Structure 1
Amino acid sequence: MTSKSRGIRNNNPLNIEYNKNNQWTEQTGVELLGRFATFSHMKYGIRASAKLIKNYMTRYGLVTVFDIINRWAPDHENPTNVYADTVAARMGVEVHQPLTHAHIPDLVYEMIKFECGVYVDRALVMEGSRLAGAV
């Protein structure tokens, strides 16, 4: 048994749920348990995450750490308040402070740490965010 988290194993560090209607760039399918998407490389899982967060901000007006994480990780599945407070503190912002697209790489970086328990290479997060058009 591997000690890597599911998100790391799937190259999907923010655990995007699989949806047959979403054909993410370099999505390779769905994990064996059938819930989360898998990607060919970590940068593509990060790209999908950054793109979703960018859409949350642009389409739905979700621009604070709390609002984004509340949608991403609803409290019926996650400790949403703890998640948002932890990520905001690590980013050095207030949990209800409006963010811009420039914050997306840092937000993704800290969300990965919360979701997976480890940091991934910041350069990968920047590359995935760039591929998503978020920076």
Structure 2
Amino acid sequence: MDSFIGIRFKKETAKRFQEFSRTHFKSHTEAMATMLDFFFYNEISPKEKLGPTGQTIEAKLLKRINAVIAIMRDVEKTQTKPTVAMIQSLFQTEEPDHKPLILEKKFVEKNKQVKIQEKRNQNNKL
């Protein structure tokens, strides 16, 4: 049987350790051995911070996911949809209705005659 040794702790610390040990381990010795093994095998110091908690990591991931979603929506609006519309318009087989241009030859000739007549009328009035 192993022998025991007494270690002096402050009363508050000893009570905290006893409560922790009772909830997670069978004995205080097993609790202390497991904690020491944890720090030894993971090569960390109990005074080191392990980094952000799970909640802060989750919050950061959600922010990044929302940013990626916003980027994808922007790409869809500015690049994908206009490109698809242009490609579809290229492959349409229907020809648009032919509208006469404003400056077609017939229209220009009619307007010239009218303008000349108006000027003549104005000269005659003077």
Query: TM-score, length-normalised on structure 1?
Result: 0.19
Structure with larger Rg: 2
More strand by share: 1
Which has the higher relative contact order, 1 or 2, with Cα contacts under 8 A spaced 6 or more apart? 1
More helix by share: 2
